[in-house]
Structure 1
Amino acid sequence: MSIQITQAQPEDAAVVATLVGELLREIMAAVSDKVFNFHQADTEARAAAWLRDGCYSVLLARAGDVPIGFLALYQRYALYTEGIYGTIPEFYVCPAHRSKGVGTALLEQARRLGQSRGWRRLEVTTPPLPQFDRTLVFYQREGFSISGGRKLKLELS
């Protein structure tokens, strides 16, 4: 299978939003809880605006013309990282294309993009739940290390 990875443009927002919806549905099924609100049109509009503004980057993986995965990135700042760094807020490979090198290819492109932007590191969060053990193993195999803590949220609106 030939995989093409490109940087998404605002006109790819519908594809990105569809893949985000698939990711969120899969997570909610795994944890048996509706932990996310997803609205296709709102997500598409947000993705288009953020891609246009350049504050959100998306790497799209395709097999031919068929989207099979994506990895999103944005830049952050923290003193503990000793410089600017990138965060991966969303990363998804369609189930039929897993264990075929798609995720690894997306991460390699993310590394290159981060290095070109002068980032010191990439960070990603995966829930500390047994349902996500396979995901954790994937990240560790790709060179990520556990840095501690748990992801918490406080809704502001």
Structure 2
Amino acid sequence: MVDHELREAGPDDAGVVARLLHDFNTEFEAPTPSADEFRARFAELLDRDDLLVLLSGPVEEPTGFAYVTLRPTPYWDGPLAQLEELYVRPELRDRGIGTALLEEVVHWARHQGAEEMHLNVDEIDTDARRFYERHGFANNEPGEDDRMLFYMSVL
């Protein structure tokens, strides 16, 4: 049985979150800062009120995490939520951990007044795309056929 217990990460968890994010990026061969660089950044981020990082599983060896941020928007009174990261250790996938993390961050974002949650997924990551689509996310506006696209520029 996999532990689906969730807890909010605090500054003392910066090293754990950093290691999970580094593992995530390494698994998908994405360029990544070191776990130490992530730890330093998360030590500051995890003290903020406009984001949430959830850890799943036992304290001594978390099974995954979700990281969501809030930002102001002129489209409604509350913030816009951005799911920055959601990761479950590969050997523990397909056991409901990702669903538990996603459902909890969506619940938290709604409680903060957010009316939308955005996320980005690589087109070739069909497993992640199916996961998010199964949970109600879409790459087009309701009633529209045109796909939404994400653009970025390194500054």
- 1:82 to 1:126, Cα distance in 2 relative to 1, 3 A: farther
One-letter amino acid matched to 2:70? Q
One-letter amino acid matched to 1:155? V
Please give the secondary structure, in 1, of the residue aligned with 2:72: strand
State the TM-score, normalizing by the size of structure 2: 0.87
Alignment of 1:62 with 2:57, yes or no, is yes
Query: Percent identity of the aligned residues?
Result: 28
Report the equivalent of 1:32.
Answer: none
**Does the CA-based 8 Å contact 1:71-1:88 persist in structure 2?**
yes
The structure 1 residue matched to 2:139, chosen from 132, 146, 150, is: 146
Report the equivalent of 2:143.
Answer: none
Counterparts of 1:89-100 in structure 2, within 5 Å, are: 89-100=84-95
**Quick check: which one's helix share is greater?**
1
Displacement of 1:62: 1.0
Superposition RMSD on alpha carbons, in Å? 1.8
Tell me, which stretches of 5 or more residues in structure 1 are unaligned? 29-34
Cα distance in 1 between the residues matched to 2:154 and 2:31 = 12
Counterparts of 1:117-156 in structure 2, within 5 Å, are: 117-129=112-124, 132-147=125-140, 148-156=147-155
Displacement of 1:104: 0.4
Report the equivalent of 1:47.
Answer: 42
Stretch deviating more after TM superposition (62-71 or 74-83)? 74-83
**Does the CA-based 8 Å contact 2:77-2:113 persist in structure 1?**
no
Q: How many pairs were matched up?
A: 148
State the TM-score, normalizing by the size of structure 1: 0.86
Deviations 1:16-61 (A, max 9, x none): 0000001111222xxxxxx423112111010110111334320100
Deviations 1:82-141 (A, max 9, x none): 742210111100011100000000011111111110110211110112xx0111000010
One-letter amino acid matched to 2:22? G
Please give the secondary structure, in 2, of the residue aligned with 1:67: coil
**Does the CA-based 8 Å contact 1:3-1:64 persist in structure 2?**
no
Alignment of 1:105 with 2:106, yes or no, is no
Displacement of 1:79: 3.7
Report the equivalent of 2:82.
Answer: 87
Tell me, which stretches of 5 or more residues in structure 2 are unaligned? 141-146
